[in-house]
Amino acid sequence: MNPAYVALESGHVLEGRGRAPGTARGELVFTTAYTGYEESLTDPSYEEQVLTFSYPLIGNYGVREERFESDRVHPRAVLARELTDDVAAWLESEDVPAIDHLDTRDIVTDVREGGAMKCGIAVGKHATPDDAVAELERCQAMSDHTEIGEQVSVAEHAVHGEDNDGETVALIDCGVKGSIIDSLVARNATVHVFPHDASAADVDAVDPDVLFVSNGPGDPKNYPQAASLVETFVEDTPVAGICLGQQIVARALGGTTEKMTFGHRGVNQPVLDVESGQVVMTTQNHGYTVADPGSHLEVSQINVNDDTPEGLDGIEHDVITRQYHPEANPGPEDTLGFFDDVLAMATQSRNSPRAIPADD
């Protein structure tokens, strides 16, 4: 096997077994998910990150394309205690460096205590620790990836479920998981997927019943056009969001966001619904959170572990958002009803369509 090195912002350089060659750099994060590695690896929210699996064996049920959430692997590199040959071969085919035979318990502990950190990766026949350190020195902070939306968003307007006769959803793609679109289409919605920086005029042309802001990678402040769309449409169109989408909606309506120490990533995050008192287990993948929802939104659900907002509802307008992933791929299916709630908002009366300038 090839030499493999991980240089950490903390100053440590780790050595492991190279499973897929190459060099990479990114924000080091971990997931506690014990299943769903195919879904995690193809989740666009991991763009510009190096993903560590805390579960010790990754790949024990193979690799099946029908489980993918997008058309490629998004983490810049992958770290594990042990990767099966199937997963290692898949990552190599995607040109994503991979390292195993690492003590992932120590890595997770370092991230929990020191926070998500920059790292550099070097794997290959002639790889050296200095190569990994060189990658680390070129690594940017996540908030500095100001154009990250361009890396994960569709290039042009696309339609899903065009033969459906239910609600029309304008989905702003900031790095959407395929199962979110599938969940809406399965409920008879026609989903118009727009680039993250789409104009209000283009979105308005489909006369949406719901404006839906997707999940995605990076700092929510780096999606100003998506926030602008929320501001434009919230007056007379129901608005929904998932994960990054919740953060963008909150910022658009006067709230604030902040970076978390190490984020929530896994399929076992407990969430409390404030009104009912019910707790459900959820799938999550985010490094930022809503710090203050502002005066236009109220917190409807909270994380049991740290009290961060997991759900927001509009006070003056029809708004519903979730920080976790209700589509439940991977993970428990307790929260699929969110999509029914989103589409139910569209059955309420709406004002007349907006007159938006064509060059908006």
The verdict on 95 and 216 lying in the same domain is no
As annotated, the binding site for L-glutamine includes 45, 216, 218, 244, 247, 285, 287-288
As annotated, the binding site includes 45, 216, 218, 244, 247, 285, 287-288
Report pLDDT for 320.
98
CA within 13 Å, CB half, 108: 17
Burial (CB count within 10 angstroms: exposed 0-12, middle 13-18, buried 19+), residue 276 = exposed
- How far, in Å, are 10, 74, 295, 313 from residue 51 at the CA level? 17, 9, 36, 32
Instruction: Indicate if 119 belongs to the active site.
Output: no
Give 217-267 pLDDT, tens digit per residue.
999 999 999 999 999 999 999 999 999 999 999 999 999 999 999 999 999
The verdict on 195 and 100 lying in the same domain is no
The verdict on 133 and 261 lying in the same domain is no
Instruction: Indicate if 9 belongs to the active site.
Output: no
The verdict on 185 and 276 lying in the same domain is yes
Question: Is 360 domain-assigned?
Answer: no
**Residues 289-298, mean pLDDT to the nearest whole number:** 98
Burial 142-173 (b: 16+ CB within 10 A, else e): beebeebbeebbeeebeebbeebeebbbbbbb
- Selected catalytic residue, list 47, 243, 264, 296: 243
The verdict on 170 and 51 lying in the same domain is no
The verdict on 80 and 224 lying in the same domain is no
Report pLDDT for 329.
84
Question: Is 352 domain-assigned?
Answer: no
Report pLDDT for 322.
98
Q: Residue 247 CB: number of other CB atoms within 10 A?
A: 32
The verdict on 174 and 225 lying in the same domain is yes
Of 144, 138, 179, 172, the C-alpha closest to 158 is: 172
Single out the residue in 140, 164, 190 at which a domain terminates: 140
Domain CATH number, residue 62: 3.50.30.20
Report pLDDT for 349.
38
The verdict on 238 and 100 lying in the same domain is no
- Selected catalytic residue, list 27, 48, 135, 327: 327
Rounded CA gap, 293 and 313, in Å?
10
Single out the residue in 140, 167, 183 at which a domain terminates: 140
Q: Which two tokens stand for residue 314?
A: 């509009």
The one-character DSSP state at 199 is -
- Range(s) of the domain holding residue 339: 148-345
The verdict on 266 and 120 lying in the same domain is no
- Angle ∠(62,68,74) on CA atoms, nearest 5: 100
49 Cβ neighbours under 8 A, 6+ residues apart: 26, 27, 28, 29, 75, 76, 142, 217
How many domains are contained in the chain? 2
Give 111-149 pLDDT, tens digit per residue.
999 999 999 999 999 999 999 999 999 999 999 999 999
Question: Is 187 domain-assigned?
Answer: yes
The verdict on 201 and 154 lying in the same domain is yes
Task: Determine contact, residues 123/21, Cβ cutoff 8 Å.
Answer: yes
Rounded CA gap, 94 and 278, in Å?
41
Single out the residue in 120, 140, 160 at which a domain terminates: 140
Question: Is 359 domain-assigned?
Answer: no
Instruction: Indicate if 327 belongs to the active site.
Output: yes
Domain CATH number, residue 153: 3.40.50.880
| Model confidence band, residue 347 (pLDDT cutoffs 50, 70, 90) | confident
Question: Is 169 domain-assigned?
Answer: yes
The verdict on 58 and 87 lying in the same domain is yes
Question: pTM of the prediction?
Answer: 0.95
Rounded CA gap, 108 and 165, in Å?
47
- How far, in Å, are 24, 46, 154, 179 from residue 66 at the CA level? 27, 19, 20, 11
| Model confidence band, residue 332 (pLDDT cutoffs 50, 70, 90) | confident
Question: Is 71 domain-assigned?
Answer: yes
Strands 319-322 and 239-242, how do they pair?
Answer: parallel
Report pLDDT for 357.
40
The verdict on 13 and 32 lying in the same domain is yes
